[in-house]
Chain A
Amino acid sequence: MSTVSKEAPLLTVDDLRVSFPTRTGVIEAVRGVSFTLGRERLGIVGESGSGKSQTGRAIMGLTPQHAQITAKTLNFAGRDLLKISNKERRDIRGKRIGMVLQDPKYSLNPVMTIGRQIIETLKTHEKVSAAEARARTIAMLEAVQIRDPERVFALYPHEVSGGMGQRVMIAMMLICGPELLIADEPTSALDVTVQLEVLGILDKLVAERGMGLIFVSHDLRLVSSFCDRVLVMYAGRVVEELPSADLSKAQHPYTQGLLNCLPTIGTDRHPLPVLDRKKEWAL
C-alpha cells in the first residue's frame, strides 16, 4: 500500500454535476460528486447508470457538447478545468491526463498501425524527431511487457489480441508521462487470466511514475484489491467513501449489498442475497 501524500491534491472535484437535456426532460447523470485525489489510486465503483463513467469523462473533458457540466471546483494541478479554453484543455488532455477505455477493439484506430498511433500522441504534445519518437514508442511497448515490440509496432489493432490491445492502449496513454490516469473499466473486456497481467502492468507503471489513478469499474472486489480508496456511486451520487482495507466494514446498505450478492468459491449461500433498493438511496 502506498501512502497517501499530504501535499496539495492533484485533482479537486467539488459538487460536479453532469446533466443531459433530452426530449423527455433533463437526465442528471452525475449529481454533486466531490472528492480530492493525490498521487494515489482511487476506485470509483457503481452499477451501470450510476454515473461513474460520466464522472471520469467530465474530468477528461469528453462529455458530449450538449451536456451541461457544472462544478464549484474542478481543479487539476492548480487550473480550473471548466474555465480554461479548449486549446488549453487539449494541451492537458493526453499530455497531463490520460484515459484508458474499456475495449481496445473500439478505442484504437483500426486503419492506423499501432506504432503510428502511439507516435501521433507523442508528436501532438512534444517536439521530437522521428527517430526519437520511434525509439520512445518501442521503449514504451517494452514497458507494458510486449515481448516483440518491433513486430507489434508495425501491426494493426485487429492483428493483436484483446490483452495485447489493452497494453497498447496503456502504452499510448503513458507515453507522454501524464500525472493523472483515468482507467474506465480497463479490464472488463478481457479474460480473467489476462486481466491480472494487465492490472499488474498498470499497477507497476502507476507506482513507478508516481501518477494519480482513477479506476472506474463495476467490480467492487477487483477495485478494492487494486486501489487505496474507493468511492461507491449510486444514482449519480457518492453514497460511501472508504479505504479499500475497510471494505468489509462498509456502512451503507448499498455497498454491503453489492459485496454480498457476489457468488464466491467456498461459501454456500442459496439463494444469494439480492439488493433491496431503497428509494432514499437515490435522494
Chain B
Amino acid sequence: MTANVLSVRDMVVSFDEFLALDHVSIDVAAGESFGIVGESGSGKSTLLRAVAGLNAFSAGTLTINGQSYSGRNRSKDFYRTVQMVFQDPYGSLHPRQTVDRLLLEPLAIHGFDNVDARIMRALDEVGLGSGFRFRYSHQLSGGQRQRVAIARALILEPKVLLLDEPTSALDASIQAEILNLLEQARRDRNLTFVMVSHDLGVISHMCERLAVMKSGKVVETVTADALESHDFAADYTRQLLIASEGFRRA
C-alpha cells in the first residue's frame, strides 16, 4: 500500500444541533481515485467541503501529504496541493469575469510566472480552444463551463482534485465527455481524485474504491470490483445498487 495522500480520522461536523458528519474516516492513497456515494443529506458533500476548508470540523484529524489541518484554516500551500470542482457550473464561475480573468486569478494569487502560456495550455488541455479565452461564462454551455472550472482547478497543478458531483447538472452525452476529460487529466498528471456523486454508475466507472455514506456515517468502504460482483455487506449499498438499475414493475 502506498502512502496515503489524504487521510481523514473521526471527523465530526455539526451545524448547530445537526450532526452532519459523525466520526467519518477515509484514507485515499496517492494516485487513487476514491468515490463517495450516498443520498442527499448523507454528508458526502460536507465531507468534501470540510476537507477543502469550506466547512469547519469540530473533532477529528485531517492529514494531507503528511501535513495536518484543523478547523477551516488552510495555507496557500494547501490550495496548491488540493483543488475542487463544484457541481453547478452555472454557479461556480464569476458571471462578470472572462474565462481569461477566471484562470488568471489563481495564477496571480499563487505567484505563477508565464501566465499567458499557462492559460493557453490549460484551455487546450480541457478541449477549449483559444477562442474561448475572452468569453464570459454566460456565453458558454453547461459542459463548456464545467471544462473552464476543471481548467481553473488544474492550472495550479494540484495533486489532489476534489470533485463534488461534477457531472450531475449535465446531459448524459456531455457527462461522458467530462468524465473522459477527467480520466485523461488524472492519467497525465498522476492526480488523486476524491469524487462525490449520487450516481453509482458514475462512481464505479471512475473510482477504484468507494465509501457509501448515510446520515453522516460511512456505511462501508468497498472496491469497485466488489460492487460489481455484489460482494458487500451493507443492506443500504444493496438498496443503492438496485435503485441505480432503474425502475422495475413489481
Q: Which residues of A does B touch, CB under 8 Å?
A: 47-48, 162, 191-196, 199-200, 203, 218-222, 225-226, 257-258, 261-266, 269-275
Contact = CB atoms under 8 A, between A and B. Distances in A.
Contacts of A162: 40
A266 B177 contact: no
A146 to B, nearest CB: 19
B177 A274 contact: yes
B165 to A, nearest CB: 13
B247 interface: yes
B243 A199 contact: no
B105 interface: no
Given A222-B246, A265-B200, A258 B39 contact: no
A195 B246 CA distance: 9
Contact of A47 (B40, B172, B249): B172
Contacts of B246: 221-222, 225
A263 B179 contact: yes
Residue from A194, A263, A266, A273 with most neighbouring chain B CB atoms (10 Å): A263
B204 interface: yes
A26 to B, nearest CB: 21
Nearest to B174: A47
A35 to B, nearest CB: 22
Q: Which 5 A-B residue pairs are closest in the complex by CB-CB distance?
A: A263-B205, A261-B176, A271-B180, A275-B173, A272-B176
B202 interface: yes
Contacts of A218: 171-172
Q: Size band of the B side of the interface?
A: 20 to 34
A1 to B, nearest CB: 8
Given A48-B171, A225-B246, A272-B179, A265 B227 contact: yes
Given A192-B39, A222-B246, A274 B176 contact: yes
Nearest to B236: A193
Contacts of A264: 201, 205
B201 A263 contact: yes
Interface in B231-246: 239-244, 246
A193 B199 CA distance: 11
A258 B247 contact: no
Contact of A262 (B40, B201, B242): B201
9 contacts: A191-B40, A192-B240, A193-B39, A220-B172, A225-B248, A261-B176, A272-B179, A272-B205, A274-B177
B198 to A, nearest CB: 6
A193 B237 CA distance: 11
A220 B173 CA distance: 11
B202 to A, nearest CB: 5
Interface in B148-195: 171-173, 175-177, 179-180, 183-184
B16 interface: no
